Chain A
Amino acid sequence: MPEELKEQAKCLSLDELRKKLKSEGKGWRGLEELAETEGFQELLNREFPRQAAPWTGGVNRRTFLKFMGASVALAGLAACRPQRIDKIVPYVKVPENVVPGLPVYYATSLTLGGYALGSVIESHDGRPTKIEGNEKHPATLGSSSAMHQAMILDLYDPDRSKGVLNAGRPAAMDTFYKVARAAVAEGGVRILTETVTSPTLGALLEEFLGKSPGAKWHQFEPINRDNEIKAAEAVFGAPLQPVYNFANADVIVSLDSDFLCEGPGAIRYARQFSDGRRVRRDSMHMNRMYAVVVAPNNTSAAADSRLRAKGSEVEQIALAIAGGIGAGGAGANLAGEATKFIDAVVADLNEHRGRCVVVAGAHASPATHAAAFAINQALGSVGATVNYIDAVEVRAESQAESLAALIADIEEGVVSSVFIFGGNPVYTASGGSRFGDALAKVPFTVRLGMYDDETSDGRSWHIPMAHELEAWGDARSFDGTASIIQPLIEPLYDGISAIELLDGLLGRRREGYDIVRSQWQRGGLSGEFEAAWKLALNDGVIEGSASAAKSPAASMSAVVGLAKRPLGGTEVNFRPDPTLYDGRFANNGWMQECPRPVTRVVWDNVIHISPAMAETLGWNPVRTMWFHPDSEPVYGNEGRHGGEAGVPIYQIEVDGMKVEGPVWVTPGHADGCVTVTFGGGRRRGGEILKDVGFDANAIRSSNEVWTVGGAKLTDTGKSLIVASTQLHHTMDDRELVQTSTLEAFEHDPEHVTAHPHGPQEEMSMYPERKWDGNKWGMSIDNSVCIGCNACVVACQSENNIPVVGKDDVLRGREMHWIRIDRYFHGPSLDDPETLQMPVPCMQCEQAPCEVVCPVAATVHGVEGLNDMVYNRCVGTRYCANNCPYKVRRFNFYHYADNYRNNMPSPEDAPVLKLLNNPDVTVRGRGVMEKCTYCVQRINEARKTAKKQNRAVEDGEIVTACQAACPTQAIMFGNMNDPEAKVTKLKAEPHDYSLLPELNTRPRTTYLVRITNPSPALAGPAEAGEAH
């Protein structure tokens, strides 16, 4: 046993940790911190733990001269030539509204899971560079989500398919149409799409099916509304769709739902939910959320009271709540903890009739959905907190059944051709359905896809698909609102859209614009067409197209009928991945490197288990966080690995299907079950997705299964180093994220934090400065931050922040300017409270980074910005070393061109240069960088104001993180303006700053996280500080 192994073996056991936590009751970042492992201390004390091991080999005169000689020889060669001569290429005729150097904004929509997300796209010289939400669109309200932000990177992805392929060889589109039309004429045609909400595509499909006898249309997406539709059909007799209004809800119950971050209405729901939680001195009203949770997610982290439950138990809990309300449920045999929780929920719901709502997760069972429908009905919530509308999809159906029908038809031999529009069903369909094998039996298969991926492999024809920013189209959002999708750029790789392909198959081959326009000419726009069409394009939303609310009659008796028998043995839960979704973002570096909520794991997907489950499996999670005892220690040659864990790889076996994946101990996860997410283990379709994670679909027996019992977990003896950013950039142990309860706040708002506003008047060795004019500051409300990562990816998009790849993340070199810190809090190791806190640059008034810079590359401006001058930076990294908040990032390599993991390839992917925001410098190797409060946006607004001889107005400058934040947790503004929102927030009694004792006087301050736990469930008073 190596020396280090022995040392680690001495660490605390889980039980010892539990005791310790109970007696100390403090906050913690991870098991490593609790156990005070050496590795954690190292992360705390050293900025980049895995590097800069001192040179031990010794330097002799010869090697010294060798290196010196080379550097001197190269020193002066760059300077002696005249400046390069560039060209200026003006337009021949200038397009309307184009001013060189200024961006143009267009309203359009992007879709996720078929549903529209209203967007406003910033375009520089014809290059779309940034996605923002569209204020006029009901699904985004001007905000955004991480996936929404990342879609722009897909547009420029150098791995997209670049031409028509016939059996893998380049071919012509004309030939394709000739062959395809013949195939259509033959009959036995099947069309497979993703969820379709587009009226135009719907109409074309209808026309196509009408003209091709025997043709059928199937829909499949792994993340769908199947269970909701089943429940709605049973309860209401029609596939109605719920639209929630959390703004009216005082009590919210989430039945294993992640409604804040998942689903087509998530951005709007997050806004409504957070609007009910902005506790201020003069408005102390706050909603309360109860969450039943299997695998911790952002919604459960935001909940005030939680109950951990296995996937199969969620249904029983839902039915028990329904029973308690008198909505047709039934009591169940549940543990004491669960009964207590259910009683509290039932009492609270009864107390808030008509002002409460129960939400079931998309993956919850039909009975759970039905119970939620029945409870809402019984409590009089319909019309207040939930409305029902006709299904938004062109055809609402169980997609799992739709795909199964297609497979059955193929097996029967009645299918002679399949046209697959988008999606990636060969990868996303469950392993048990064997869709890929079935598809291979069809003689003529066509795939329209952005990538030559698993589904395109082996097809007769592959047609490149246009990105939604390249083609015309339309889509509906979660509430039925329609919007037109307009392109911002010509297809980069000759892609065409689904409507263009279908129109071509119908023998017309019209332009996308004509197809969409003619569809809307037939109806759907009110008033004179031309004006209405222009208005729809301008606004990005079609006024008044939202579906009307219905008041359906519910059959309560249907609820119990849907109930399934409880599962036995170890359960496996399947979930969409919080960053990769169903795998469609697997080739998107931003999403791969976006730390997943709660676990902060990047790149690989993992098998989530609870600490107690790890014990059951026979190992101490604390020790194995560092390495797996039965395998080679993961210490590399570079010394101790920092922050990442060499975790054991387990094999999950269900129904004879097997998959291997790394196990991740996630405190807060339900015991007795594991959770796996989709999106890993992609086999084809790009460079980024290679060798990342494992394919959870492989053990999914059917597309209807979200929880399966009887799983067998076996240790493979192998281990994998999984990159997690959780312990990177760790600040020292003082009250960092502070929490309190509504009760404490109501009782004494002035004392929920020990140092409101930080100690401002302390003596300082820095010269005192006067701050007049604009005094920029930021306030972040921890009560409403849901940790969704929208700010992280928005910042990445706005500020040209590169992706570094898994290896460099392992070295603590991820480049995100704003990170989300996660802390666990509370006395329970197994079910801790999860706290999340975004940390951008604090813009300290007395910045420790500035005094140590030898070249004055980081200095203060008069508006209080801690300016970072890239072209002056020589890369000593003293500033990062001296930053107590650890918000500075260093370019160890030329990351800006190393888009692919460890593949320096600027020539390889010049297309990615189109993505960059020209208003922000692309940083080179050896340069320090950090958040600047989006100084490019500040400068732009200041210039505009100055040209008009006025002051910058409040709200005129919106930083990228602030704009993207769905809950508006981030507020930026001029602290010298007494009317500015940020000034008022900073005057709140629960405003505090990080590490106030350092007297850095940060301009970014926080509001104490205030929760509203149920008095019936709250343990001993927990108010106080987690550090």
Chain B
Amino acid sequence: MPNLFRKSANNMVKITFLLGGLGLASVLLVGANVTPYTHRLGVALDQPAPFSHKHHVKELGISCYYCHDGVEKGPIAGVPVTETCYTCHSQIWTNSPLLQVVRDSYEKNIPIEWTRVNDVPDFVYFDHSIHIAKGVSCYTCHGDMDEQNLSFKENAFEMRWCLNCHRNPDDWVRPDDKILDTDYQDGDKSHAELGAELVKKRGIRKEQLDNCSVCHR
């Protein structure tokens, strides 16, 4: 039987092993997907208009719900439609060059393309409304948005991170009036008693919270 491969094929095998070794190393080091780098944690992303949460939330005191108006109704909190921005910015900062994008969008009826900061994979069916309804604060997941100028991601939204709360909701749920409280300490055992009471009152079924089909389907 003639040789199936030429002699140079031996080199190919060596190269393959070398690359394979490197690949294996990268699986171990990076592929585990745990670095802040792969999640872009703390990296402020460019936006078409340099919107500052710190200014609007902390300094002006606008409620999260004013702009993210889907958050109580449905799965997607929603980035505000141009019209929402324009409610105020047709009156103030009407000539600011930073807001040209907003004025253009409104006048020409072309949507603004914002850069997504927080994302979960497509196989996760996250619903904002149920979390808000059961007493999970915006800040619990999104971090101190009221301190951010250009927005960045504070938490990586890995499953084990979600399960922190899904397995111990007592430590995390807040009373209704504290949902938008920036100073409230989450994940603290000191709330456990109040939390347990809230979990019971709100009908949160703890044993169900880590069922797969709650988030994946």
Contact surface of A with B, Cβ cutoff 8 Å: 62, 65, 69-70, 72-83, 85-94, 99-102, 773, 859, 861-863, 865, 867, 869-872, 919-921, 932, 935-936, 939, 943, 946-947, 949
A949-B203 in contact (CB<8A): yes
Report if B38 contacts A (CB, 8 A).
Answer: yes
A862-B211 in contact (CB<8A): yes
| Nearest B-chain residue to A860, judged by Cβ | B211
The A-contacting residues of B in range 1-59, CB under 8 angstroms, are 4-5, 13, 16-17, 19-20, 22-27, 30-33, 37-40, 45
Number of A-B pairs, beta carbon distance below 8 Å: 178
A82-B23 in contact (CB<8A): no
Report if B163 contacts A (CB, 8 A).
Answer: no
A62-B5 in contact (CB<8A): yes
| Nearest A-chain residue to B206, judged by Cβ | A862
Collect the chain A residues with CB atoms within 8 Å of residue B130's CB.
943, 946-947
| Nearest A-chain residue to B122, judged by Cβ | A921
Collect the chain B residues with CB atoms within 8 Å of residue A859's CB.
212
Q: Determine how close the nearest CB of chain A comes to the CB of B202; give it in whole angstroms.
A: 7
A90-B82 in contact (CB<8A): yes
Q: How large is the interface on B (under 10, 10 to 19, 20 to 34, 35 or more residues)?
A: 35 or more
B217-A935 in contact (CB<8A): yes
B40-A946 in contact (CB<8A): no
17 example contacts (A-B, Cβ-Cβ < 8 A) are as follows: A62-B4, A72-B24, A73-B16, A75-B23, A75-B24, A76-B30, A80-B31, A81-B38, A85-B40, A88-B79, A99-B76, A102-B73, A871-B216, A919-B125, A921-B217, A932-B217, A943-B129
Collect the chain B residues with CB atoms within 8 Å of residue A100's CB.
70, 74-76, 78
Which of B108-116, B137-145, B181-189 interfaces with chain A?
A: B108-116
Q: A72-B16, A943-B127, A947-B129 are in contact. Are A91 and B82 (CB under 8 A)?
A: yes
Q: Determine how close the nearest CB of chain A comes to the CB of B121; give it in whole angstroms.
A: 7
B13-A65 in contact (CB<8A): yes
B80-A86 in contact (CB<8A): no
Bound CA–CA A94/B80 (angstroms): 9
Q: Determine how close the nearest CB of chain B comes to the CB of A871; give it in whole angstroms.
A: 4
Across the A-B interface, give the 4 residue pairs with the lowest CB-CB distance, nearest first: A79-B31, A76-B23, A72-B20, A101-B76
Bound CA–CA A949/B202 (angstroms): 7
B23-A90 in contact (CB<8A): no
A869-B216 in contact (CB<8A): yes
Bound CA–CA A94/B67 (angstroms): 12
Beyond A79-B26, A80-B26, A861-B213, 17 additional pairs, beta carbon < 8 A: A69-B16, A72-B19, A72-B24, A74-B23, A76-B25, A85-B40, A85-B45, A88-B113, A90-B82, A90-B114, A92-B81, A100-B74, A101-B74, A867-B212, A867-B213, A867-B217, A939-B125
Collect the chain A residues with CB atoms within 8 Å of residue B24's CB.
72, 75-76
Report if B208 contacts A (CB, 8 A).
Answer: yes
A92-B203 in contact (CB<8A): no
Bound CA–CA A867/B81 (angstroms): 37
Bound CA–CA A867/B113 (angstroms): 37
Q: Determine how close the nearest CB of chain B comes to the CB of A101; give it in whole angstroms.
A: 4
Bound CA–CA A369/B23 (angstroms): 76
Q: Determine how close the nearest CB of chain B comes to the CB of A937; give it in whole angstroms.
A: 10
Q: Determine how close the nearest CB of chain B comes to the CB of A95; give it in whole angstroms.
A: 10
Report if B177 contacts A (CB, 8 A).
Answer: no
Bound CA–CA A700/B22 (angstroms): 70
Collect the chain B residues with CB atoms within 8 Å of residue A93's CB.
81-83, 109
Q: Determine how close the nearest CB of chain B comes to the CB of A891; give it in whole angstroms.
A: 15
Collect the chain A residues with CB atoms within 8 Å of residue B105's CB.
92
| Nearest A-chain residue to B105, judged by Cβ | A92
A90-B31 in contact (CB<8A): no
B119-A939 in contact (CB<8A): no
Collect the chain A residues with CB atoms within 8 Å of residue B203's CB.
946, 949
A80-B13 in contact (CB<8A): no
Collect the chain A residues with CB atoms within 8 Å of residue B122's CB.
921
Report if B160 contacts A (CB, 8 A).
Answer: no
| Nearest B-chain residue to A71, judged by Cβ | B20
A75-B27 in contact (CB<8A): yes
Report if B133 contacts A (CB, 8 A).
Answer: yes
A89-B111 in contact (CB<8A): yes
B73-A861 in contact (CB<8A): no
Over the window 198-217 of chain B, the binary record of Cβ atoms lying under 8 Å from chain A Cβ atoms (1 yes, 0 no) is 00001101011001111011
Q: Determine how close the nearest CB of chain B comes to the CB of A995; give it in whole angstroms.
A: 25
Collect the chain A residues with CB atoms within 8 Å of residue B127's CB.
101, 943
Bound CA–CA A464/B134 (angstroms): 51
Collect the chain B residues with CB atoms within 8 Å of residue A871's CB.
121, 123, 216
A870-B123 in contact (CB<8A): yes
